[in-house]
Amino acid sequence: MVDSVDIDGLTADQVLLRDNIRRYLREKVTPLIAKAEADKKFPYEVLTGLRDFGYLGGTLPEADGGLGIDFPTWAVMMEETGYCWLSLRVMVNTLNIVAGIIGAYGTEAQKERFMRPLLQNERRTFVSISEPDVGSNVAEIKTRADKRGDRYVLNGSKLWITGGLFADFGIVVARTFSDTCNGELSLFLVEKEHTPFDVRPVETMFVRSTGTAAFTFENAEIPAANLIGTEGQGLRQILIGLNFGRLNVAMGAVGAAQSALDLSVRYALDRKQFGRPIGSFQLVQKHIVDMAMKTQAARALGYRAARAMQSGQPSRLDCSIAKLYATEAAHEVANLALQVHGGMGYATECPIERIFRDTRGGLIPEGTTEIQTLIIGREILGISALT
């Protein structure tokens, strides 16, 4: 990265961890990106090496197989994954959301069967929330789970499921009907091996190797023991993890922005036109300066959100601001990077093309730009524009 000094309040241990992660990703992951993007397959084997750095459940307590990593350190780690490859950040995010939910609400049997193998990179997972007609408003989910004896029967459709093509189990959010629940949302652990359902690929313009899928459940049975926590608590369980997810998205976007900036600086120094480096031209320098300002501002907001989460105080406002600004800034930086690179930026062999696509996608997951704006407005004014 172009920063020569650390002024973000990182400890010596965090700097060492960052540098070691960066070296590992550059040596072990970067060479795999082009083929993974072309084949639209994620190289899950890289997660085994990342486990040693704490990427697989590292924020969980040690009793659940984690390392108790604090949120500012986790923010450093997420920035590095975004710097390397946003598809990697997305897959790490999905894994940790599932692990976090099971760790917080799962039974010991569920932890043993699902979470611990996940943390060893022995199982692949997904989170299934969105539906064809349901996106930002989770409360409108239509997929239903009807209790019948010692089983639940799932019916409905899910969409935009990261890792859905590759995973062998995951979390499904469904409206639940039983003697003790009348349509409230619940979370269920669903295994492809034991609960057959239709899976189809969904082609996307960004994070192409993450196996985005659509699911259709038709009288798909799951054991009652696969209910996470208690019936009717699914909405609260999902919403609790949103700040964590928004921090992940924000810091991944910061990393992508920094990568685009670094690539542009190198290109501006190497590329010559009219007998001199294009970096000597005033307008190119203006692009570089704007990219640097946006990246540094996004990073500062991301660390602010991480510190707010670590303090244990309400952090919805900080996380939403960080997610909103960082994702928009990252795509603006990628756009300027494409301008600096000129025609070369369009080529798929140039990382800028992929970064441009992937940063555009970051404006939508974990709450769209519009939803983040409304959340921030509600937090500041105390008035909800959603009701």
**DSSP assigned state of 66:** -
DSSP string for 196-254: --EEEE---SSSTTS--EEEEEEEEEEEGGGEESSTT-HHHHHHHTHHHHHHHHHHHHH
Q: In the chain, how many H helices and how many E strands?
A: 13, 10
366: annotated active-site residue: yes
Given 37, 79, 131, 366, the catalytic residue: 366
Strand-pair category, 227-228 with 181-191: antiparallel
Report phi then psi at 26, rounded to 5: -65, -40
Which residues lie below 8 Å from residue 291, measured CB to CB, with a gap of 6+? 257, 260, 261, 264, 333, 336, 337
CA angle at 293 for the pair 325 and 296, rounded to the nearest 5°:
65
* Active site residues per annotation: 366
